[in-house]
Amino acid sequence: MNAYEAYMKEISQPMRDELTEAGFTELVSPDEVDEFISSVKGTSLVVINSVCGCAAGLARPAAIKSLENDNRPEHLVTVFAGQDRESTARMRDYLEGYEPSSPSMAILKDGQVMHFIPREHIEDYEVEEIVENLTEAYDKYC
């Protein structure tokens, strides 16, 4: 690992921890993504994490706050764009029809995309608006 990679790993760890401490499972390899998608039953929230400000100030807090809802996905997973490039690329393969964006979130049912929130619907929105977007999707699909 070169100095840049070591620095980015260290700097991104609290960003990873924010989601894993809230109950998300990190998928850090393409094989983990494939295993998850091929075996998951029920509803899932997928967060494509990022080091950007809108991930820190909006996406992660909204994803976590949305889980306070009684109706919520059964499975919580995350991949980290820019850090775990291969697992993120593999997850994006399963998000067919949606342009890659980070941060972003998807609601899956039995591994199929039911709802997608791209960066454009995170950046410049309030946390509460993103939570509302998620909870409306939970009510519809969970």
Contact yes or no for 53/41 (Cβ under 8 A): no
H helix intervals, 1-142: 3-20, 30-39, 53-54, 60-66, 85-94, 127-141
Q: Phi and psi of 16, rounded to 5°?
A: -70, -45
Give the count of alpha carbons within 13 A of 124, CB side only: 4
Catalytic-role residue among 22, 40, 51, 54: 54
Q: Is 142 an active-site residue?
A: no
Catalytic-role residue among 52, 108, 131, 137: 52
Q: How many whole angstroms separate alpha carbon 9 and alpha carbon 13? A: 6
Contact yes or no for 98/116 (Cβ under 8 A): yes
Q: Which residues are part of the catalytic machinery?
A: 52, 54
